[in-house]
Structure 1
Amino acid sequence: MSAFDLLRIAGSGLGMHQAWVDAVAHNIANVNTVRSTDQEAFRAQYVIARSQAGGGVEVGGVALGDPTGRVVHDPQHPLADAEGYVRHPEVDMASQMAQLIMAQRGYQASAQVTKNAQDMYTSALQIGRGA
């Protein structure tokens, strides 16, 4: 592994974890999105990570959640159909919060690896200048 592979791999982790945080934040922001039963429910986004040749990770795609969602009886809601039903997204807030914590920790770890690599390269340059 070359000296700059460490930065490339950590940088790829930063990008993937940022995409994961963004997707989870989008899901959490839309957890209470209500639609009429003749429309699809909000579809949660799930980032698919894929390993890269030579190390690192990238966003392999984004899977979407179930468009059916949950049909809830709420006759007072302005979007309720004739029988009083509305469509809620199939997004579990507890699961999304756990996903958010994991994505944030992964981002922090990648950022720390990047900082450590930069410190190591700076120290190596200082040694070279002192000789």
Structure 2
Amino acid sequence: MSAFEALRIANSSLGSHQVWLDALANNIANANTVRPTDEDAFQATYVVLDQVEQGGVKVTGFEASDAEGRMVYDPANPVADENGMVRAPDMDMSDQMSELIMAQRGFQASVQTTKHAQDTYSAAIQIGAK
């Protein structure tokens, strides 16, 4: 694999991991968002990635969690219905945090690959300069 190819693949990975990180940040920021029972719950966004034929990955779409969410008893909440219920997102914070760690590690690995490819180019330029 050439250094150019390594850079192209790492770039596709960096972009995809950045989209994944952005979606996870939005999910985590809205984990405690509640809505009235007559509205849809906040829907977590899940990034769908696919392998590129020439190597690398790309974002091919997004999936959303269930709009029904889960009903939570919170009578002190200003949006609670007459029974004290609110609609909360149906997502597991531990899953979101686990995915966040995976996305961060993937992003870091892509950065390292980019650095190694740059070092390879720098070494090649130094050989030609002498």
Tell me if 1:75 matches 2:75: yes
Q: How does 1:1-131 map to 2 (within 5 A)?
A: 1-130=1-130
Query: How far apart in 2 are the matches of 1:64 and 1:113?
Result: 31
Gaps of 5+ in 1: none
Query: How far apart in 1 are the matches of 2:77 and 2:114?
Result: 50
- TM-score with structure 1 setting the length: 0.96
Gaps of 5+ in 2: none
**Higher mean C-alpha deviation, range 100-109 or range 72-81:** 72-81
Query: How far apart in 1 are the matches of 2:19 and 2:123?
Result: 32
Alpha-carbon RMSD across the aligned residues, in angstroms, is 0.9
- TM-score with structure 2 setting the length: 0.96
SS in 1 for 2:124: helix
Aligned-residue identity in percent: 58
Query: How far apart in 2 are the matches of 1:110 and 1:72?
Result: 41
* Cα pair 2:50 2:58 within 8 Å, conserved: yes
**Higher mean C-alpha deviation, range 9-18 or range 71-80:** 71-80
Residue 71 of structure 2 aligns with an amino acid whose one-letter code is: V
SS in 2 for 1:37: coil
Query: How far apart in 1 are the matches of 2:119 and 2:3?
Result: 13
Aligned length in residues: 130
Spell out structure 1 runs of 4+ moving beyond 2 A: none
Once the two structures are superposed, residues 75-101 of structure 1 have per-residue CA deviations (whole angstroms, 9 ceiling, x without a partner) of 221111122210000121111111000
Query: How far apart in 1 are the matches of 2:18 and 2:83?
Result: 42
